[in-house]
Amino acid sequence: MIQNIILIDVRTPEEFQNGHFPNSINIPLHELENRLNEIDRSKIIVTLCRSGARSEQAKSILIKHGYNSSNGGAWSVFNENK
């Protein structure tokens, strides 16, 4: 199942560099629609951000473009549980 999932962190590159979920890729929210060609449509896309707000927006964009997407929520929640 994990092979069928892509984690997309939609925070800024600076936020991403300060810590991110292992194996996630960084596509900032403001770049997402211009970078859809980088995302494999056959995978389940899980979006992440700091608070959950941008990842929800990203999920909506991906679904609008025909991707199977789920909001993974807030990086801060994962980061607190280290």
Kindly list the domain boundaries of the chain, sorted by start residue. 2-77
What local confidence, expressed as pLDDT, does residue 78 receive?
55
Q: pTM, whole model, 2 decimals?
A: 0.86
- Band the pLDDT of 76: cuts 50, 70, 90: low
From 8, 29, 32, 49, active-site residue: 49
d(CA 76, CA 50): 5
What local confidence, expressed as pLDDT, does residue 79 receive?
59
Please state the separation of Cα 44 from the chain's center in Å.
Answer: 11
Q: Which CATH number fits domain 2-77: 3.10.129.10, 3.40.250.10, 3.20.20.140, 2.60.40.790?
A: 3.40.250.10
Q: Over the stretch 9-68, which tens digit does the pLDDT of each residue have?
A: 999 999 999 999 899 999 999 999 999 999 999 999 999 999 999 999 999 999 999 999
What local confidence, expressed as pLDDT, does residue 14 receive?
98
Catalytic: 54? no
